[in-house]
Structure 1
């Protein structure tokens, strides 16, 4: 039996424990909500350009809060760092530098995580045109996981930018072998053939890209250019008309995402 003084001394501790127990579900909900908001930056963009900016800012703030104020560890920390890096990478100056820092941190935490090397390499390709480092990252990503068609398409784009069309075509052939229904691989290979002066192979690849993604206005424009270069003017005009029709149907939608 506790003395009165001991009983009273236990009350603050008990109240403190109760407060923690009652607060814990709310804290868990708060972290879950922040995680969802952080990831929302990757959702389909809304039509309103101001809402695109607002969503980006909300997502970035949520990622910052998770990393700076909550003691994330393991997979949760890695996933949040990747989400924040992806949000920051299209920026310039300090934002891009922060993105690279987050990718670096993920790679230090998970050195066998192929997608981290792919994402860092793609950022270096798209936003800073740092082709040698981008190529090094993609080489590493493919060495870790050679089963991802997307990795080969991204590396092909780097090879094409380095004026190495044979290597680009080799990677695109591998991407198609891994994922025959991957429309982007056919489209990028068509562009590579076209830039290499091989209009017949370019047209054949654009044919397949259009079959796989019939609502892509870009592929009709690509095929129109290839058909015009091949002297097939009437077909080129028809493709351009179809591209305009599809583009008009998407009027008011979000800006297209840049291809890797």
Structure 2
């Protein structure tokens, strides 16, 4: 129900955003109203709309009932906000007269609501839609959930949907209502839920402390078993790289398995044991024993098949086969990895992660169209995964579809402004198309986030050198950050050559040639050597450049002309 719509005087479109109503309060009801008005438009955004306003999907089970074995990344909300803003913008562009929508209690909004409004406001600025954001409101916020059942339902829903700030608040509230001695089940549900939320929010050390508290509070074997496994995964995956400890991770996995062995025989015991062993397989693969990892996974799949009914828990089987695909890749067996991914997708066709992995295999095998299709599916299901957009853009560039590549790169940056690879690729694409001012804006935007990024410094230097402005220092700074950046050596050499410092240019080009087999550095060095009258060396460089595969036709003609000139002069 859209209970976050309130009456606020003469305003017709007024929505209460107080976080007491939950994630996406206010904006969810607004989106639902637009979806009812424009169902065909809404159908193109069904994934993000159903994630934000789940009542729009009448066939879906409540997320908390799905018992997820993996959780959404925290950045998914940025992807949802992008998709929702595109939906609202498309609706708003069809308006015939101005419409004002009021959002109340924005100062007390959940992080999901605040994020979406921040993305939406600039996106609709040029449309007839006007957003009025009010810090206060006319309605009182509800009281938080107080019964154990309501707390657990709200916590489970927040975790399953990937709304971790909300889940953390619910868990903190729930923990304050009970003690381990008074209601151990409730206390543990809130403790492990809070730890899960904190881990997703990159606050893993706090999660680690919570599991230590659980071990100190109770000797319940099931709780200690779950805490041991979670502690192992924190040490293996989620702590900062410097703080990760694979030895401790293995210790806690073995403790979880020891406690699991004491459970009564049941499918739950088998499932728990198999999944704890997958942690050991992860460590084995990382520590150079993929064959041992493969044996653990194969054994786990066999034991799951023995206790699960046909069609039961397909995500469990999919996760193990996905793990096995990763191990096959480590063993350089792409064919078996692809076969596993095909099975994984058949078992769990709604998981965007699997399509991204399969697309990478298709791409490596030269099946570009299949890769593009899988990236497209991942983008639809994700929705709007920045990495899928970026990888598809690279494929579009390889196929010469520059406009499609640009559109995908711009989508990446709309969702994730700090995606440096996309920023670099877009800036260079714009520069190649002669849009130097746009390329400069992209480079400066990236450098505002990463001031010492070598590739962006190099691109900015190239823009300014083409305008005749000083650029050598930018190339030098780029090389200080990355001495292997061929483009910076080549472009600094060009600046020095044009200034008449030919020997210095040759020295830079020596570094570029040592780093890359590409024809351009050899052609440039040959040109500089010819200027110095070192004809034999110049002939060798031009000859080597001509021998490189895939040489551009225009560059080939230029190299041949210079080669003939050197042969005549020597």
Matched, 1:171 2:374: yes
Number of the residue aligned with 2:528:
none
Distance 1:45 1:244 in 2: 28
SS of structure 1 residue aligned to 2:242 = helix
Aligned partners of 1:162 and 1:150: how far apart in 2? 19
Output one character per residue of 1:210-237: Cα deviation in whole Å (capped at 9) or x when no partner: 1111222232123234334444444344
Matched, 1:26 2:236: no
Q: Which stretch has the larger CA shift, 217-226 or 199-208?
A: 217-226
Q: 1:86 aligns with which of 272, 282, 291?
A: 282
Q: Distance in 2 between matches of 1:220 and 1:118?
A: 31
Equivalent position of 2:424 in the other structure: 221
> How far apart are the structure 2 equivalents of 1:212 and 1:98?
40
The alpha-carbon distance between structure 1 residues 242 and 188, as it changes in their structure 2 partners (threshold 3 A), is same
Q: Do the aligned partners of residues 141 and 181 (structure 1) sit closer, same or farther apart at CA in structure 2, a change above 3 Å counting?
A: same
* 3-state SS, counterpart of residue 219 of structure 2: helix
Partner of 1:103: 297
CA distance in 2, matches of 1:232, 1:99: 50
Matched residues in 1 for 2:333 and 2:292: separation? 16
- The answer to whether the 8 Å contact 2:362/2:371 transfers is yes
CA contact (8 A) 2:225 2:259 kept: no
**Secondary structure of 1:215's match?**
coil
Query: Alignment length, in residue pairs?
Result: 219
Q: Which residue of 1 aligns with 2:384?
A: 181
Deviates more, 1:62-71 or 1:130-139: 62-71
1:1-260 alignment runs, 5 A limit? 26=219, 28=221, 30-41=224-235, 44-46=238-240, 49-52=241-244, 54=245, 56-67=246-257, 70-71=260-261, 73-92=269-288, 94=289, 96-111=290-305, 112=314, 113-125=317-329, 127-247=330-450
Q: Which piece of structure 1 moves more, 37-46 or 157-166?
A: 37-46
| Distance (whole Å) between structure 1 residues aligned to residue 272 and residue 259 of structure 2 | 14
Deviation at 1:27, TM superposition (A): 6.2
Counterparts in 2 of 1:85 and 1:221: CA distance versus 1, 3 Å: farther
In the alignment, the residues of structure 2 paired with residue 226 and residue 90 of structure 1 have an alpha-carbon distance, to the nearest angstrom, of: 37
In the TM superposition, residue 59 of structure 1 has moved relative to its aligned partner by 1.4
Of stretches 197-206 and 137-146 in structure 1, the one that deviates more from structure 2 is 197-206
Shift of 1:160: 0.1
**CA distance change for structure 1 residues 115 and 248 in 2, over 3 Å: closer, same or farther?**
farther
Moved more, 211-220 or 234-243: 234-243
1:69 is displaced (CA, Å) by 7.0
Label 1:43 to 1:188 Cα distance change in 2 as closer, same or farther (>3 A): same
TM-score for the superposition, normalised by structure 2: 0.35
Q: Distance in 2 between matches of 1:41 and 1:196?
A: 42
User: C-alpha displacement at 1:30, in angstroms?
Assistant: 4.2
Q: Under a length normalisation based on structure 1, what TM-score does the superposition of the two structures give? A: 0.72
CA distance in 1, matches of 2:331, 2:282: 14
Deviation of 1:132 after TM superposition, in Å, equals: 0.9
Secondary structure of 1:78's partner?
Answer: helix
CA contact (8 A) 1:89 1:99 kept: yes
Structure label with greater radius of gyration? 2
Residue pair 2:233, 2:279 contacting (<8 A) in 1 also: yes
1:216–1:246 CA contact under 8 A, matched in 2: no
**Which structure has greater helix proportion?**
1
CA distance in 2, matches of 1:101, 1:233: 55
Once residues 241 and 170 of structure 1 are traced to their aligned partners in structure 2, the CA distance between those partners, rounded to angstroms, is 33
Give the match's secondary structure for 1:51.
coil
Q: CA 1:50/1:152 → structure 2, altered by over 3 Å: closer, same or farther?
A: closer
Gaps of 5+ in 1: 1-24, 251-260
CA RMSD of aligned residues (A): 2.8
Deviates more, 1:113-122 or 1:131-140: 113-122
